[in-house]
Structure 1
């Protein structure tokens, strides 16, 4: 581990950063300050821009924790690098990964736990928690998720644990969806391309950038659902517009950010945030 190169304020009881590239857009500092205000904790939370390479990421993370840092959030493009770091350290008994991080192959939360670097992934559980907060009962429901990248991979285990009846992975390249399905030994999972979706869909989740570039959505006009959820937020969503026109309930992913952040905050501080009527 490197000597600390980060100057951490001494007035706060807890020190957090979020690492990304880009990072200026991140809402995590404001979010966690809201958590701290509710729980009565004194924290400092900063954004940290990092060059997009593994060695730079490791240097920043090591400096932060060696300098007294408490917890670290990771966003694009460093989640797989954080996973690799924890996996490498686990070989010498200096690191550990949660079940959710292992399955996702990505880490969005780092902490020091039992003297080891601990990597967790709270994204999928944040998604499920947000859906439930919006009145979506996933038990015995037919769920479709669009995309076969890291966001989908991180959501699969929490969705299966929510006792969905079926989980269909749809992707432009069907082979990627198939490979992802094969990673999970669960007969509830099926897969297809984006144009061959099941007819009986209770919940459909978008984990892609589909529709952002103005291209026509590859859905049949008769595709319907009870609830459509886009993991992205803060941008117009042709995906949500499509289902809103069919009178489906819809939501963007801001609540996913809030819920996954609350899980990180609880890991770092031991304090559970009350998200009922929460705003920031």
Structure 2
């Protein structure tokens, strides 16, 4: 696991100056937060760009959106990232949303301009950057997206903007996320995207699918060891197809393990983590993370 490896001083950059009174503070608001790789990514970015700032992880468990945004203003955090459920609960208490964030109904990045909080969403664009970097031709890809939560909706919007050839999105019709999905599709107005009930996975012609994306929590946390697709479904995919997961803890979800056993190309959520972080870093600083060093460290294909 990358966070257990010995750091190579020739590949990583560390700030020469100590933290002082002028140091800006950024952070992750999540529950739990201790496992996150975000502090490593952003602190490398500050060091590489000689920015006097530090990024910390804050456990937000038990606090509502009003309390979190009040804390941002009171403590004068320069910016933050958010995980669920905070991506959605802070929305009513932000001063401004970017068009994508408003469309998705969730933010993962907040910039604090002297108490004026601007919410953005870099998840979907970060995920698509990972696809493009891996050589996926979205213009000619027929995609199955599993889930319609905040991460899935962000990915859906980014795939639509990338003019993906065909996109089928699966979510249980009884879920509130299905309603959000339908509202999003109405706003996008793209005929190549269809919303389908989870039960309709049995009707998919898997031989006509090029890319599978799991944006559910099946394979993570209490659901570790579960897979949204059965081995028999994955076996029907063409050998040129690839299977992606937003999960990176564990590094290989059960879905990816099954897909790999079928000889399919697999990718975990580390690429999304890195590229969405780079986009957030640009929002805050106008600079990039040291992507080459971090790609090597995270072993992103």
TM-score (norm 1): 0.84
Q: Which moved more, 1:233-242 or 1:154-163?
A: 233-242
Task: Please give the alpha-carbon distance, in whole angstroms, between the structure 1 residues aligned to 2:99 and 2:149.
Answer: 18
Query: Which consecutive residues of structure 1, in runs of 5 or more, have no partner in the other structure?
Result: 1-8, 87-94
Distance, in Å, in 1 between the alignment partners of 2:261 and 2:140 is 26
Q: How far has the Cα of 1:247 moved from its partner? A: 1.9
1:18 lines up with 2:24 in the alignment? no
Structure 1 pair 114/189, CA: closer, same or farther in 2 (3 Å)?
farther
Q: Residues of 2 paired with 1:182 and 1:66: CA distance? A: 35
Cα 1:114/1:255, change in 2 over 3 Å: same
SS at match of 1:143: strand
Q: Within the alignment, does 1:240 sit opposite 2:247 as a pair? A: no
Per the TM alignment, residue 277 of structure 1 is displaced from its structure 2 partner at its CA by 5.1
Richer in helix (by share): 2
Distance 1:49 1:222 in 2: 41
Name which of structure 1's ranges 12-21 and 73-82 shifts more when overlaid on structure 2.
12-21
Among candidates 226, 231, 245, match of residue 230 of structure 1: 245
User: How far, CA to CA, are the matches of 1:29 and 1:215 in structure 2?
Assistant: 29
After superposition, what is the alpha-carbon deviation per residue over 1:111-145, rounded to whole angstroms, capped at 9, x for unaligned? 13486310001111110011111121212311111
Q: Which runs of 5 or more structure 2 residues have no equivalent in the other structure?
A: 1-18
What SS is found at the alignment partner of 2:139?
Answer: coil
CA distance in 2, matches of 1:19, 1:266: 19
Q: Whole-Å Cα distance in 1 between the matches of residues 246 and 103 of structure 2?
A: 19
Q: 3-state DSSP class of the match of 1:64?
A: helix
How big is the alpha-carbon RMSD for the aligned residues of Structure 1 and Structure 2? 2.3
Q: Does structure 1 residue 186 correspond to structure 2 residue 190? A: yes
Correspondence for 1:49 among 54, 59, 68:
59
Cα distance, 1:10 vs structure 2: 4.0
Q: CA deviation at 1:187?
A: 0.5
Paired with 2:234 and 2:29, the residues of 1 have a C-alpha distance of: 41
Cα deviation per residue 1:74-116 (whole Å; 9 max; x = unaligned)?
1122111122222xxxxxxxx1101121111111111134863
Secondary structure in 2 matching 1:163? coil
* SS of equivalent residue, structure 1 residue 19: strand
TM-score normalised over the length of structure 2: 0.78
- What residue is the counterpart of 2:108 in the other structure? 108
> Is the 8 Å Cα contact of residues 41 and 289 (structure 2) preserved in structure 1?
no
Partner of residue 258, structure 1: 274
Alignment partner of 1:34: what SS?
helix
More deviation in 208-217 or 252-261? Answer: 208-217
Q: 1:80 to 1:129 in 2, by over 3 A?
A: same
Residue matched to 1:169: 169
Contact 1:169 1:181 survives alignment (8 Å) = no
Q: Which runs of structure 2 are paired with 1:53-132 in the superposition (5 Å)? A: 53-54=63-64, 57-86=65-94, 95-113=95-113, 116-132=116-132
Q: CA deviation at 1:164?
A: 0.3
CA contact (8 A) 1:224 1:243 kept: no
Contact 2:106–2:150 (8 Å) recurs in 1:
yes
Offset at residue 175 of structure 1 (A)? 5.2
Q: 1:40 aligns with which of 44, 50, 57?
A: 50
- Is 1:206 aligned to 2:221, yes or no? no
Against the structure 1 CA distance between its residues 113 and 187, is the aligned structure 2 distance closer, same or farther, given a 3 Å change threshold?
Answer: farther
